[in-house]
Each structure stands twice: as structure tokens, then as C-alpha cells.
Structure 1
Amino acid sequence: MDLAVLIKALVLGLVEGLTEFLPVSSTGHLLLIGHFLGFQSPGNTFEVLIQLGAILAILTVYGERLTRIALAAPTDPNARRFIAGVLIAFLPAVVIGVLAHDYIKEVLFETPAVVCTTLIIGGVILLVVDRMHFTPRYTDATGYPLSTYLAIGFFQCLAMIPGTSRSGATIVGALLLGADKRSAAEFSFFLALPTMAGAFAYDLYKNRDLLSVDDAAVIGVGFVASFVVAVIVVRRLLDFVSRHGYAPFAWWRIVVGTLGFAGLWLFG
């Protein structure tokens, strides 16, 4: 195994863990950095499969709470309602993701200019929404109306365009639908579990013939790095957004998208 490839995988894994749950688009960052590093993965599978590390980070941080909800479901209607809400929010991504999978991976993932554009546009939208003055109707991510969960699920589908950000789309959707900033971020964590697990399983199935033992080593390095950093981010993000809002991430997106365009202009 080429050491240089493993180092690139490590860098990309760290970026995945840092950005997966921030509203800045982990996939957009991975595709741009991978482009400029000259990193190639079969069918762009690496970028999806290392998300398993971020999934496990959520389970590590929220495992006890999720276990309580699962155990309470047989007798607690609120627990059952929340579980149903997450599944309802996940449903639009299942349908659209399966139907558009090949176009997303073969066209959108291969167009860095799309990533730069959506990073900037999404940053502007996030900045505008963050500055709007809402009176939150919902402060508990487990207590949204079922119709709100479904609407957030449709917002999440926007993130199938790389550079949009899954967490960013769900957070903006939740804010516009009446959630406060903290619970909007928290629900993006919960919705990530079925969404990312489904994407992982489906992408692994679709590209199973393209992967080799060497690919497993590269993916393993990226997975471990992603997991470690994602745990830190998940533990700190809610307090950060409660104090500072989402404007810092909006400006981050705009800067990265602009630098990406500059890099494409200079280096191709």
C-alpha cells in the first residue's frame, strides 16, 4: 500500500469527521480536497463509506439516550412518535436517493464547480436564515409534529447535490419550520443515523465489485480518523451554536467555495 495514499486517506478522514455534522458539507469538502490532492476512489465510494465513522460517533455520544427511547417505545407513545418521526423524515431520501443515485455519483460528484457553487449559495442562505428573528415553537428535537419531520426530510434531499450539506439543509429546514437552533442541530444528528447508514449500505452494494483489499485499508484509515474527530465535534457543536449561531459556518462555506473556484481557475 502506497504510504502517500494512506496519508491522503487520513487527511480526508479528519476532514470528514470535522465537517460531517457542521452545516458546511462534508462531501463538498472531501470532493474538493480529494480533487486537489489527486485522490481517486472507485465510484467515489471512499467519500460515502468513511461516513460510517461519523455514524458510530453519534451512537457513542447518544447511545444511552437512544437506548432509553427504544426501550420505552412499547409503552411510551412519545417515544414511538419520535421513532416514527425519524423514519418519516428519512423516507424522502430513500426514494430520491435510489432513483437519482447514478446521476449524483457519476455527474454531480465529478463536477467540482457544482460543489463550489452550492457551498457559496448555501452559505448565503444559512447566513440569511441565521440572522432572521424567529420565535421558536419547538425546543425539543424529539417532540416535533410528524408533518414537521416529513418537511425536514424533504429539505434533507437538497443535500444530494454535493456541497449543499445534509446537516445544513436539515438545520435550515428545521429553523424555518419553527425549531430553535439547538434542537435543529440535534435533530440533524438523529436523522443522520438512518440516512448515512442507508447511504453506506446502498453504496457498498452498488460498488462491491469495484473494491479491493487495498481499498479496505484506505477506507479503514479514513473511518478511524472520521470517528475520532466526529465524536469531539458532536460533543461540542450544540453548545457552540447555542452561543454563536450558524453565521461562522456560513462564512466558512463562502470562503471555501471562493477558494475552490480560485483553485480550479489556477490549477484546473
Structure 2
Amino acid sequence: MSIWQAIILAIVEGLTEFLPVSSTGHMVIASSLMGISAFEFTKMFTVTIQFGAILSVVVLYWKRFINSVNFYKKLFTAVVPALAIGFVLKDMVDAMLERVEVVAISLLLGGIILIFVDRWFKEKENPVTTPSYKNALVIGFFQCLAIIPGVSRSASTIIGGLTQKMTRKAAAEFSFFMAVPTMLAAASYSVLTDLLHLEISDVLSFKLDKIEAGFAAITAQEWQALAIGNVVAFLVAMAAIKFFVEFLTKYGFKLFGYYRILVGLVLLILLAMGVDLQVV
């Protein structure tokens, strides 16, 4: 992977991670068109640069993260269902990740749903701006839908928030907060297993020889790509979050729905043309 390819993927990650458009679908298109989707490093890179995207949420909403213990309790309540179900259904999820048509169909169906979301969930006179533990748990179960590639973690959690009578802005922001522990767990696991080629037991038992060997196996160019990728993803994600909150508050979800349908159709057309597409 060249530095320019790393930058392009990081831009795609930053733009799409927190929008309800499925970052997975965009990564499939971007990496496949650049001819790097089959590389082992590409899969690990696309997960690891999520650290940069996560940091953008913490920086933008830093006051929320030092607010109170209850904030973290609600986040924990919200992320447990997806982490548990993802762990139990890991083999099934891995099998779905190998099928680009699953991503395409999820994009299409999710796009149709987003077109009608504004009509289904109109803003209430007394909306919920701070979710209760019950609200957080319900939203957490909605996040479980995102184990299906192409569904979009952001879309599923925001819709989950709307079902709990939250405002669009409040639902979107809670979705961002949920992303921090969820993506942190996924990215950390990828670093250990895919980048450093370690077992969890190696880390827990402090097997320094294996840990050092894992770090030593990473080339200087790969370290450079990871560093630049995280910086770019951080900066782009910050801009994307600010844009999304403002746009969503004013205009709703319909445009994102049409866009998802377009991306889904592009994937299906590329598959029909015989283009070698792989989920990274």
C-alpha cells in the first residue's frame, strides 16, 4: 500500500464512519478500485485507522467524556449487546463479510428505510435528549443489526435512538458516543491479532518476546501508512461529524437514503461486470 492509497482510504473512513451510509461498502469500492483489497495489510489498516476516527469524537465532545460516571454506565449498557452477540456469532459474521452482495443488498434496503425514517419518526414536543438506561439498552440492541455488513452502525443506532423519542441531534450524538467503546474494542482486537499476530493470552501473560516480535515484523512503510492514515481519518471525521449533525438537524435522512441506494447499485453493477470486489 502506497502513502497515497493510505490517504485515500483514510479519507473514505473519516467521511463515512459516522454517517449512516456504511463505511464498509465504501471501503470495498475504494480498496477494490485501487487493487489493494486482497492485501492482508489493507484489512488491518482499515480497522486500525478507526483509532483516528474515534479520537475525533472524544476531542469534539470532550466535556461529555468528563461529565459523570452515569455517562459511562449508559455507554456500557448500550454497547454490551453488540459486543456479546458479535462474539457469539463471530463465525457467521466472518462468513457474511466475505460476500460483497450482502453489503450491496444491505445498502439498498437500508437506503429505502432511511427515505421514510423522517416520516415515521417526527420530532415530539417533549423529546428525549438524554437517554435513560432503558433507552440505552434498546439502542444497543439496534446496534446489533450492524453485525450485518453494509447495514451501518451509525444508521442502526440513530434509528434506535429515534424509536426512543430522541431528537435527531441527540440520537446522532449518542451514536457517536457508542462508537468510541465499540470501535475501540474492534480496532484493539485487530491490532493484536492482525497487525501484531498475537493471541489475547500472549498479552495477558506479558509474553514480551512475542509482543516484541510482533512489533518488529511491521515495516517502516507500514508504520508510516498507519500514522498518516490515523491523522487523516481524525481530521476528516471531525469535519464529517460537524457537517452531519448540522445537515441532519435541518434536512433529515432522505438524501442519505438515496445515496445508499446509489452505492448499493454501484456495487451490484461492479459485481455483474466481474470486477474483483472483496470486503476488507
Q: Deviations over 1:142-195 (max 9, x none)?
A: x21211111111111111122111110001111122212111111111111111
Tell me which residue corresponds to 1:77. none
Tell me which residue corresponds to 2:231. 224
Task: Determine whether 1:161 maps to 2:141.
Answer: no
Contact 2:25 2:263 in 1 (8 A): no
Q: TM-score normalized by structure 1?
A: 0.87
CA RMSD, 1 decimal: 1.9
Tell me which residue corresponds to 2:182. 195
Whole-Å separation in 2 of the counterparts to 1:85 and 1:229: 27
Deviates further, 116-125 or 29-38: 29-38
Whole-Å separation in 2 of the counterparts to 1:245 and 1:13: 26
Whole-Å separation in 2 of the counterparts to 1:13 and 1:247: 26
Whole-Å separation in 2 of the counterparts to 1:151 and 1:64: 25
Report the secondary structure of 2:131's partner residue. coil
Tell me which residue corresponds to 1:76. none
- Give the alignment partner of residue 100 of structure 2, picking from 108, 112, 115: 112
* Deviant stretches of 4+, over 6 Å: none
Whole-Å separation in 1 of the counterparts to 2:161 and 2:34: 35
Give the letter aligned to residue 40 of structure 2: P
- Give the alignment partner of residue 212 of structure 1, picking from 218, 224, 232: 218
Task: Determine whether 1:266 maps to 2:255.
Answer: no
Identical residues among aligned pairs (%): 36
Tell me which residue corresponds to 1:24. 21
Shift in alpha-carbon separation, 1:168–1:186, aligned structure 2, 3 A: same
Q: CA deviation at 1:267?
A: 3.8
Q: CA deviation at 1:133?
A: 4.5
Whole-Å separation in 1 of the counterparts to 2:170 and 2:46: 27
Contact 1:14 1:226 in 2 (8 A): yes
Q: CA deviation at 1:50?
A: 0.9
Q: Deviations over 1:97-118 (max 9, x none)?
A: 223334434x222222111111
Q: Deviations over 1:21-43 (max 9, x none)?
A: 10001122112321232213427
Give the letter aligned to residue 172 of structure 1: I
| Equivalent residue runs for 1:49-60 within 5 Å | 49-60=48-59
Q: CA deviation at 1:135?
A: 4.6
Tell me which residue corresponds to 1:65. 64
Shift in alpha-carbon separation, 1:135–1:14, aligned structure 2, 3 A: closer
Shift in alpha-carbon separation, 1:103–1:217, aligned structure 2, 3 A: farther
Give the letter aligned to residue 246 of structure 1: F
Gaps of 5+ in 2: 198-213, 276-280
Q: CA deviation at 1:83?
A: 2.3
| Equivalent residue runs for 1:1-268 within 5 Å | 5-40=2-37, 41-42=39-40, 44-67=43-66, 69-70=67-68, 73=69, 80=70, 82-105=71-94, 107-136=95-124, 138-140=127-129, 143-207=130-194, 208-209=196-197, 212-213=218-219, 214-268=221-275
Gaps of 5+ in 1: 74-79
Whole-Å separation in 1 of the counterparts to 2:56 and 2:147: 22
Q: Deviations over 1:108-144 (max 9, x none)?
A: 222221111111111111112222243535341xx21
Report the secondary structure of 2:149's partner residue. coil
Give the letter aligned to residue 184 of structure 2: A
